[in-house]
Amino acid sequence: MSTEDRIALVTGGGSGLGRAAALALLEQGWSVALTGRRETLLKETADLANVPASRVLVAPADITDPTAVADLFTAVQRYFGRLDLLFNNAGAAVPRCPIEDIRVEDWNRALDTLVTGAFLCAQQAFRVMRAQSPGGGRIINMGAPSAHAPRPNAIAYTTAKHALLGLTRALSLDGRAHGIACGQIDVGNVTPPDGSGQPAARQADGTLAVEQTIPAERFTEALVLMASMPLDTNIQFLGVFPTTMPFVGRG
């Protein structure tokens, strides 16, 4: 299947790396459905793409709501007729603080968005990809270095990303019989899109340090590589980090 015939759904597509991913896929010829909570930002992404309306769908949804997710995938099927790629990118901003100070609401928000939301979207994607013709497709989950090694005072985020790692592995296994590939991309420090400097990050020894960043293009290049593979090939895990970022052995 040529790139021009492929359909992607990007969650969290209204800002940050979700927007960067959507624009990169559109530039490569994909058609893209954009979802997230804020319709205004999704429309901004669509406008930035400067592509025909037939190639982009703005479909706001709360991915933590099972009914909203089911309606989202119905809308994608009606608009495009199929789905070839789900990029589970939606994130949740959770304050970093010692475990004794974290609020249950913040814990729940991290798990609901990063894990339950990704599961609900993957579940619907499986249903669509198994039934369509030609069958199959790909799911890429947005991981993080914290899926493998934590930072201090980030227990909710770290736990959620570790759970997402397990989800990726389970989806990869369960998708084999149906031509559904699943991988995970773990992205390190990316230069803020507004050009501001990278804030200092807490290190394992308690000190603060400003770490190296990479431009968002390094991330989108890696994502497009994963997305463009034929379904007989899966990039299971791909990590994209600044060369000097303290990840390996950062504990």
The set of catalytic residues is 157
Coil vs helix vs strand at 241: coil
Single-letter code of the amino acid located at 229: M
The β-bridge partners of 8 are 32, 85
Burial bucket for residue 182 (CB in 10 Å: 0-12, 13-18, 19+): buried
Other beta carbons within 10 angstroms of residue 241's beta carbon come to 20
User: Could you tell me if 180 and 168 are in contact, meaning their C-beta atoms sit under 8 angstroms apart?
Assistant: no
Cis peptide, bond prior to residue 134, ω within 30 of zero? yes
What's the CA angle centered on 237, arms 231 and 239, to 5 degrees? 130
Dist CA 124 CA 120 (whole Å)? 6
The secondary structure of 161-202 as a DSSP string is HHHHHHHHHHHHHHHGGGTEEEEEEEE--B--TT-PPPPPEE
